[in-house]
Amino acid sequence: MDLLAAAIFLAALALIALEWVHRTKVALAGAALMVLLGVIDQEQAIEAVDWATLGLLAGMMVIVGLTEPTGVFTYLALRAAQLSRGNPVALVFLLAGVTGLLSAFLDNLTAILLVVPVTLLLADLLRISPVPLVLTEVLASNIGGTATLIGDPPNIMIGTHRKELSFLDFIVNLAPVALVSLLVTTALLALVFRRSFRVAPGRAAEIAALEPGRDLRGARHLKRTLAVLAGTILAFFGHTLLHVEPAVVALTGATVMLLVAADDVERALERVEWSTLFFFVGLFVMVGGLEERGVIEAIASRLADLTDGSATAEGMVVLWGAAAGSALVDNIPFTAAMIPVVDSLQGGTFDDGLWWALALGACFGGNATMIAAAANVAATGILDRTGHPVSFVRFLAVGAPVTLVSLLIATVYLLLFQL
Amino acid sequence: MPLRDLPLVRASVRDTADLAEAAAALFAAQVPAFAVLDHDERVVGIFSEADLLRAVFPGYLAEVRHTAFLPDDAPALAERARSASGRPVREFARPVEPLDAGESQTHAAERFLHTGEQALPVVEQGRFLGMLSIAALCYARLERAGER
């Protein structure tokens, strides 16, 4: 039965990586197979679902969905572009900075969906290809999302699984390394793409002449939505003091947002990406099946043997292993499988260093390939729809070196401060 | 009254026609969308005013939600229109499920609501009869109500 559990999970991972079938269908089919074939019984399957993760994701989807129509995110991206004054290197850093910031406090996929369309518009005005700018933003979104508990799905799963790790812990332990990685990799990309960023004289004036605030003037519920968004982010910072889980913060924020800023609740709830939530449900059940059948325990035990019980070696294996796994498959299912492995490695004890290694590996590994993170798939999809297709190899040629550089930074950081 | 008895507009364009021809025909016609037909006169898609908009204006417009700050970039718009006008209309057409001539008006109304189209092709035994617009469908109903 343990072989069957492993076979179903590996087949699901392969299908997700190959993108032959929608990932949600694969995850749900894998979960259904595990339940129907008796790998995991139905009560255990329901218990395996991490409802806190789903609550946090759904809450943030509602909050962002109701804030987006105000135009405030477009305003932010445009103002950043104007601050560059037509200097292409400054433009790259500012757009990467805005993307990284939005990723940290919303999530990386949302940040990409908000920033990439504006970037296409800016590139059109500047008469430059949007591809280098968008690729820089995708990589910045995955690095920026590493900085907080809510920034990237792997962090959401880790943060909701280990209650000892607060929102502030994520920022204190991950934001500095994310910031350094963001600066270094953006500089690298600005250097690589320097020829693509050459702006014809006079084009910068087109950007400077824009009035980003025009869309905000007629926005309904602007002040209310911004107040709720700010309140929710503040509550994340203080959730341990308030004795509430991050999921409760997100769902409370979403509820307040619905009360004060949703004219039509049905339409507001259409912003919830049900396919993503069901993808997580399927994954949790499959990983529950692996746990029930001892597969996770066996992997952890093998890892412990390989590393000879050394915390440093374990941390390095988790960091680089999570990055490689995330790059090949998708960082969400890989993290879902790795969380119980890290639990097992620690036995009954708790060492936050291994969790930071997992977060850094999964989030940074998400930059390596086009399929490694949902933000990459979304951004390349938008580029494709708007006539700027990016091949798997082209993404890899940019993503893999950036991943390598950021992992080296993470390795130094973990060795110096965490392991 | 089945759909074949409603005022259908025989508005179609061959899939090989270029965008400029399709746009001219759409402008002159009384319906907001054309059937795109292959050489056997079978419906292979629909080309609507929204498709024309997507062809003539920048692709990113479908992705951004806020553009009040954006002035017309006349040279870029002219260049886009110039490059789009000679391309075949099939590149901009979308797949469509035609209505059958024998189907009810209520069914047609439901299809309009759920497809979001302003006009749909009506076929009989696979042969294109004409385009049925929402206005034509509703006007026919109101006219009959007035007669009674």
Averaged over A288-308, what is the pLDDT? 86
Nearest chain B alpha carbon to A383: B60
Q: Who among A69, A71, A385 is closest to B59 (CB)?
A: A385
State the architecture of B3-147 in CATH terms: Roll (3.10)
Element (H, E) at A406: helix A392-413
Q: Which residues of B touch A68 (CB under 8 A)?
A: 65
Averaged over A299-307, what is the pLDDT? 83
SS3 assignment, position A263:
coil
SS3 assignment, position B120:
strand
- d(Cα A118, Cα B56) in Å, to the nearest integer? 19
What confidence score (pLDDT) does residue A313 get? 92
Element (H, E) at A192: helix A167-192
Nearest chain B alpha carbon to A219: B66
Averaged over A324-329, what is the pLDDT? 85
Residues 6+ apart with CB under 8 A from A167: A148, A149, A150, A159, A236, A237, A239, A240, A246
What the block records as the tokens of A332 is 């969400």
What confidence score (pLDDT) does residue A107 get? 87
Backbone angles phi, psi at A200, to 5 degrees: -65, 145
pLDDT band at A326 (very low <50, low <70, confident <90, very high): confident
Closest approach of A171 to chain B, Cα-based (Å): 31
Give the torsion sign (CA, B125, B126, B131, B132).
positive
pLDDT at A25 over 90: yes
pLDDT band at B70 (very low <50, low <70, confident <90, very high): confident
What the block records as the tokens of B8 is 């259908």
Residues A317, A307 contacting (CB under 8 angstroms): yes
Nearest to residue A186, comparing CAs of A357, A376, A405? Answer: A405
What confidence score (pLDDT) does residue A1 get? 67
Cα torsion through A37, A41, A45, A48, rounded to 10: -120
What confidence score (pLDDT) does residue A339 get? 93
3-state secondary structure B76-90: HHHHHHHHHHCCEHH
- Whether residues B73 and A206 touch (CB distance < 8 A) is answered with yes
Q: pLDDT exceeding 70 applies to what percent of chain A?
A: 100
Averaged over A328-337, what is the pLDDT? 86
Q: Which residues of B touch A71 (CB under 8 A)?
A: 65-66
pLDDT digits (tens, 9 = 90+) for A251-294: 999 999 999 998 889 988 988 889 889 998 999 999 899 989 98
Averaged over A47-65, what is the pLDDT? 92
What confidence score (pLDDT) does residue A307 get? 84
pLDDT at B137 over 90: yes
- d(Cα A331, Cα A310) in Å, to the nearest integer? 25
Q: Who among B58, B64, B71 is closest to A118 (CB)?
A: B64
What confidence score (pLDDT) does residue B148 get? 65
What confidence score (pLDDT) does residue A355 get? 96
- d(Cα A68, Cα A111) in Å, to the nearest integer? 11
Pairwise pLDDT comparison (A134 vs B30), residue with the higher score: A134
- d(Cα A360, Cα A376) in Å, to the nearest integer? 17
pLDDT digits (tens, 9 = 90+) for A152-179: 999 999 999 998 999 999 999 999 999 9
Residues A95, A119 contacting (CB under 8 angstroms): yes
* pTM for this entry: 0.83
Q: Which residues of B touch A382 (CB under 8 A)?
A: 63
* Residue in the block written with tokens 């502030």: A168
Pairing of strands B43-48, B99-100: unpaired
Averaged over B82-110, what is the pLDDT? 94
For residue B113, what are the CA distances in angstroms to A10, A264, B38, B110?
43, 19, 27, 5
Pairwise pLDDT comparison (A372 vs A259), residue with the higher score: A259
Q: What angle separates helix A331-346 from helix A352-365, to the nearest 10 degrees?
A: 160
A52-66, A190-204, A357-371, B96-110: which range is least confident on average?
A190-204
What confidence score (pLDDT) does residue B2 get? 84
A308 touches chain B (CB under 8 A): no
pLDDT digits (tens, 9 = 90+) for B81-94: 999 999 999 999 99
- Whether residues B60 and A120 touch (CB distance < 8 A) is answered with yes
pLDDT at B146 over 80: no
- d(Cα A225, Cα A72) in Å, to the nearest integer? 10
Element (H, E) at A34: helix A23-36
What confidence score (pLDDT) does residue A17 get? 80
**Cα radius of gyration rounded to whole Å, chain B:** 17
What confidence score (pLDDT) does residue A115 get? 93
Cα torsion through B51, B55, B56, B61, rounded to 10: 80
pLDDT digits (tens, 9 = 90+) for A388-407: 999 889 999 999 999 999 99
**Cα radius of gyration rounded to whole Å, chain A:** 21
What confidence score (pLDDT) does residue B18 get? 93
Query: How deeply is A219 buried, as exposed, middle or buried, from its count of CB atoms within 10 A (0-12, 13-18, 19+)?
Result: middle
> Residue A402 CA to chain centroid, in angstroms?
16
Q: How many CB atoms lie within 10 A of CB A413?
A: 22
What the block records as the tokens of A50 is 């991490």
A384 touches chain B (CB under 8 A): no
What confidence score (pLDDT) does residue B141 get? 87
What confidence score (pLDDT) does residue A225 get? 93
pLDDT at A18 over 90: no
Closest approach of A214 to chain B, Cα-based (Å): 5
Nearest chain A alpha carbon to B67: A215
- d(Cα A165, Cα B14) in Å, to the nearest integer? 63
Residue by residue, DSSP assigns A372-384 as SSHHHHHHHHHHH
Residues 6+ apart with CB under 8 A from B143: none
Domain range list for chain B:
3-147
Q: How many CB atoms lie within 10 A of CB B42?
A: 15
Beta bridge partners of B127: B124
* Global ipTM: 0.72
Return mean pLDDT, chain A: 91
Residues A141, A99 contacting (CB under 8 angstroms): yes
Pairing of strands B33-37, B43-48: antiparallel
- d(Cα B42, Cα B105) in Å, to the nearest integer? 23
Pairwise pLDDT comparison (A29 vs B66), residue with the higher score: A29
For A:108-167, CB contacts with B below 8 A are: 116-118, 120-121, 124-125, 127
Residues A35, A288 contacting (CB under 8 angstroms): no
Query: How deeply is B47 buried, as exposed, middle or buried, from its count of CB atoms within 10 A (0-12, 13-18, 19+)?
Result: buried
SS3 assignment, position B119:
strand
For residue A266, what are the CA distances in angstroms to A110, A222, A270?
20, 20, 6
pLDDT digits (tens, 9 = 90+) for A87-111: 888 989 999 999 999 999 988 888 9
What confidence score (pLDDT) does residue A148 get? 96
Beta bridge partners of B100: B123
pLDDT at A296 over 90: no
